[in-house]
Amino acid sequence: MENGFVDCHCHISAREFEEDLEEVIQRTIEAGVQTLIAVTEEVGEFDRVLQLSDRYPGLVAPCLGLHPLQACGNLEQRSVKPEDLESALPLFYKHRDRLVAVGEIGLDFTPWCAPTAQDREDQLAVFIQQLHIAKELDLPVNVHSRSAAQVTIATMREQGVSRALLHNFAGRPSVALEAVKAGYFLSFPPAICTNQQRAKLIKQIPLEHICLETDSPALGPDKQVRNEPRNIFMSCQYIADVKGVSSQTVQQATTNNAYRLFTRARKM
């Protein structure tokens, strides 16, 4: 079971994959990826990710969640508001038996995305409500934190969340170790391969708390090129190089970690 990769955070329901999804999935399988933990950002994506899990059973493991930033036309983004959750709430419960996690949820306090205190309060309210849903449904959470790592981790601990993945973690090593202490996992996409800061961070995180992700179609090795789940081997190799172990060691450890966290994905 643990011979392949698990992509712990990808957007396989994204529009960028609509044209050639079959080929993308074929390349994913050929690259040895056995599970795609597929997250959503907006309620409009919920159906699509569930359809994909029907179409590719055993490969696409669906998560439902509202991202802290929501689209508002022409590439503009705004902070999520509590009312955005209204149409999503019944869907978490309706599909509870199919979900492997609640995600992508979290906090994004980047100044131009959340310029006001109200924005940050709204994000926090939506995040906490989704943490409650995850606990109620006995599911882990798949979490985004940008310019908000400390608050994100503190909030999860305060809410009694014990199972979480912090995706594309870019906080300070001391903050990462807080997450480790809480029992959380941290994952890294192929874009880290060119980032020296991230190497210092990865060095300090025990392999038992690391997962692999692509965040495809974003965060690939080349900013201008669409990322795909097949690129997961790049994260694996990079982490292996930083830690001075074999890529097979990293692959096995991260896959074990992924199934320890996303227990339902193992049974799919």
Alpha-helical segments (H) within the chain: 21-30, 46-55, 89-94, 117-136, 149-158, 173-181, 196-204, 232-243, 247-261, 263-267
What is the predicted pLDDT for the residue at 207?
Answer: 98
What is the chain's mean pLDDT, rounded? 95
What is the predicted pLDDT for the residue at 198?
Answer: 87
Band of pLDDT at residue 1, cut at 50, 70 and 90: very low
List, in order of start, the domains of the chain with CATH numbers.
Answer: 11-267 (3.20.20.140)
Q: Is the pLDDT of residue 146 over 70?
A: yes
pTM of the model: 0.96
Q: Is the pLDDT of residue 2 over 60?
A: no
Mind listing the pLDDT tens digit for each residue in 219-238? 888 888 999 999 999 999 99
The amino acid present at 245, given as its one-letter code, is: V
Mind listing the pLDDT tens digit for each residue in 170-189? 999 999 999 999 999 999 99
What is the predicted pLDDT for the residue at 3?
Answer: 75
Q: Report the distance separating Cα 144 and Cα 106, nearest Å.
A: 5
Q: How do strand 60-64 and strand 141-146 relate by DSSP bridges?
A: unpaired
Tokens, residue 210:
């690391």
Alpha-carbon distances, residue 244 vs 62, 192, 199, 220, 255 (angstroms): 33, 16, 12, 23, 18
Section 186-211 average pLDDT: 92
